[in-house]
């Protein structure tokens, strides 16, 4: 039994050692302030939106793009209605977007829709007119200064920029709050200190800007894994590209409230991370040894795409193996020991996640739009939300996973989101 306990301790120590640098990130986020950026000359951008059966929400996104405090003549909005069976295309046209309808049931996923939009722009001879390209999901809403703030960070030399991802339905239930709190932590306590330290951020699926030259280097958008955003990030970081972050560019998106839908989405994320690791893991590992900020960015991304819950799963397997060995071979009563180990794991994990969530909740309190009672209640459920990644990771490892669209139904304007506070 002793050897199983020691193995568990080694795995736990390895987990802590690998991710301890994130506490440095938290200190940097709390203690350092970014230098103010000067005003920047407006550039011309294309806004790209991929949508599948999003008639309920896409109009609000388009309206929030038109409401930007940025020269309207310098923003061109393109929507790919991807395998839609509803009125998404008609709704997008009615709100003033250029709409392309794509019908391809063999090549399914957002990556293919992005590739379709970029190919259209190249074929139309307009690709080269844009300094960069914004990428959004159809359920997003943009703060009025989103584009202007991103343009300032872009003009400061960041060829890829990601924004501050908030939620338009934080207070719906424990699931939407769990997602939202984690995204807020990722923005302010991961990407923000990365920006302050001069290393690379990580693109989070929506609300990011990419320079035309970067897409030309990539050959368009050849990223078709289950997490195409992470694949894009890995490709850029492996080539030494640095991803910037703009804390003042705020967007709001809708989080799932149904556990079945959440399970399928996060299973896809975990499998997608593993796909990226399989393709880029060796390159990132070698890049770590180059040293400097580029090497650290490779290290950071490698750990960010390697789900920490897999370490936890390994610890659980070791504990179970120890219990079986003690019970079946040594004929010992191992249930008390196993119970103490499980309780120790649960209480330690709960306390750590409660601290991370609590720190984020306090610092972002005014930007979270729901009642104070719900903020506090869903803080207590946040660790439980994160712990559901354990069975989800097991399902991602051994189950069948495929891309399925997320259903969005929270049709709100920006003013309606803020009134929920």
pTM score? 0.92
Give the pLDDT confidence score for residue 316 in this predicted structure: 65
| Residue labelled with tokens 């343009």 | 151
Average pLDDT over residues 4-24: 72
In the chain, pLDDT over 70 holds for what percent of residues? Answer: 89
Count of all residues that appear for the chain in the document: 421
Give the pLDDT confidence score for residue 344 in this predicted structure: 74
The two three-digit tokens of residue 199, written as one number = 């290393």
Where is 132: in which H helix or E strand?
strand 132-137
CB 51 within 8 A of CB 126: no
208-211: strand order across its sheet: 98-102, 75-82, 45-51, 132-137, 208-211, 160-167, 243-253, 141-142
Query: What rounded mean pLDDT belongs to the chain?
Result: 90
CB 61 within 8 A of CB 141: yes
Over residues 288-320, the pLDDT tens digits come to 998 889 999 999 998 887 756 566 666 666 666
Among 232-236, 368-372, 402-406, which is the least confidently predicted range?
Answer: 402-406
Average pLDDT over residues 215-219: 96
Average pLDDT over residues 129-136: 98
Among 144-153, 251-260, 317-326, which is the least confidently predicted range?
Answer: 317-326
Over residues 32-74, the pLDDT tens digits come to 988 889 999 999 999 999 999 999 999 999 999 999 999 999 9
Over residues 318-373, the pLDDT tens digits come to 666 666 666 555 556 666 766 776 777 788 889 999 999 999 999 999 999 999 99
Give the pLDDT confidence score for residue 2 in this predicted structure: 62
**Quick one: fold of 1-421?**
Spore Coat Polysaccharide Biosynthesis Protein SpsA; Chain A (3.90.550)
Residue 162, SS3 per DSSP: strand
- Nearest partner of 345 among 8, 2, 3, 21, judged by Cα: 8
Q: Assess whether pLDDT exceeds 90 at residue 193.
A: yes
Q: Assess whether pLDDT exceeds 70 at residue 221.
A: yes
pLDDT band at 184 (very low <50, low <70, confident <90, very high): very high
Interatomic CA distance for residues 90 and 62, integer angstroms: 13
For residues 98-133, b (16+ Cβ closer than 10 Å) or e, as one string?
ebbebeeeeebbbbbbbbbbbebbeeeeebeebbbb
| 173 or 420, greater pLDDT | 173
Q: Assess whether pLDDT exceeds 90 at residue 177.
A: yes
| Cβ-proximal residues to 275 (8 Å cutoff; 6+ apart), any chain | 225, 226, 227, 231
Give the pLDDT confidence score for residue 334 in this predicted structure: 62
Interatomic CA distance for residues 199 and 193, integer angstroms: 9
């Amino acid at each position: 039994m002793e050897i199983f306990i020691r193995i568990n301790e080694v795995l736990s120590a390895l987990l802590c050692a690998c991710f301890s640098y994130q506490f440095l990130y938290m200190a940097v986020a709390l203690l350092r302030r970014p230098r103010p950026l000067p005003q920047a000359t407006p550039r011309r951008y294309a806004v790209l939106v991929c949508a599948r059966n999003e008639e309920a929400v896409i109009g609000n996104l388009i309206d929030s793009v038109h409401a930007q405090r940025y020269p309207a003549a310098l923003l061109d909005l393109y929507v790919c209605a991807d395998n839609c069976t509803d009125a998404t295309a008609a709704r997008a046209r009615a709100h003033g977007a250029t709409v392309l309808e794509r019908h391809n049931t063999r090549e399914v996923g957002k990556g293919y829709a992005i590739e379709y939009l970029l190919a259209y722009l190249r074929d139309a001879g307009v690709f080269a007119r844009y300094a960069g390209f914004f990428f959004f999901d159809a359920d997003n809403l943009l703060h009025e200064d989103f584009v202007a703030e991103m343009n300032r960070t872009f003009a400061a030399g960041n060829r890829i920029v990601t924004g501050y991802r908030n939620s338009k339905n934080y207070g719906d239930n424990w699931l939407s709050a769990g997602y939202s709190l984690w995204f807020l932590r990722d923005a302010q306590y991961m990407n923000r200190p990365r920006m302050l330290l001069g290393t690379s951020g990580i693109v989070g699926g929506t609300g990011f800007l990419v320079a035309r030259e970067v897409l030309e280097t990539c050959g368009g958008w050849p990223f078709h894994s289950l997490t195409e955003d992470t694949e894009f990030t890995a490709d850029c970081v492996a080539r030494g590209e640095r991803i910037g972050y703009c804390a003042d560019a705020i967007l709001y998106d809708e989080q799932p409230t149904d556990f079945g839908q959440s399970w399928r989405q996060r299973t896809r994320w975990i499998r997608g991370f593993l796909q990226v690791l399989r393709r880029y893991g060796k390159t990132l590992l070698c890049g770590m040894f180059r040293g400097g900020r580029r090497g650290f960015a490779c290290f950071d991304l490698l750990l960010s795409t390697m789900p920490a819950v897999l370490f936890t799963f390994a610890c659980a397997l070791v504990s179970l193996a120890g219990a079986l060995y003690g019970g079946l071979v040594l004929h010992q009563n191992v249930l008390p020991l196993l119970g103490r180990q499980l309780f120790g794991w649960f209480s330690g994990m709960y306390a750590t996640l409660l601290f991370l969530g609590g720190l984020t909740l306090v610092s972002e309190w005014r930007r979270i739009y729901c009642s104070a009672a719900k903020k506090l209640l869903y803080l207590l459920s946040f660790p439980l939300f994160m712990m559901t990644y354990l069975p989800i990771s097991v399902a991602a490892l051994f189950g069948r996973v495929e891309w399925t669209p997320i259903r969005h139904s929270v049709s709100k304007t920006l003013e309606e989101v803020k009134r929920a506070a």
